Amino acid sequence: MSSTAELVALSAVVPPENHEVGTGFEAVVDGQRVRVRAVLERTAVVESMSDGERSLVRKDLILVEPGSVPFVAGNPAAGVGPRQWRRLPGKPPQNPPPTSK
Domain assignment of residue 94, yes or no: no
The confidence band for 85, taking pLDDT boundaries of 50, 70 and 90, is very low
Task: Provide the residue range defining the domain that includes 26.
Answer: 8-74
From the list 73, 38, 86, the residue with the least C-alpha distance to 59 is 38
Question: CB–CB of 48/61 below 8 Å?
Answer: no
The pLDDT tens digits for 6-17 are 999 999 999 898
CA distance 36 to 63: 11
Q: Does pTM top 0.85 for this prediction?
A: no
Per-residue confidence at 84, pLDDT binned at 50, 70, 90? very low
Task: Provide the pLDDT for residue 39.
Answer: 93
CA-to-CA dists, residue 21 to 1, 5, 53, angstroms: 18, 20, 22
In a domain, 70, yes or no: yes
Residue 48 lies in a domain: yes
The reported pLDDT for the residue numbered 73 is 86
| Long-range contacts, stretch 82-85, CB < 8 angstroms, 24+ apart | 82/20, 82/22, 83/20, 83/40
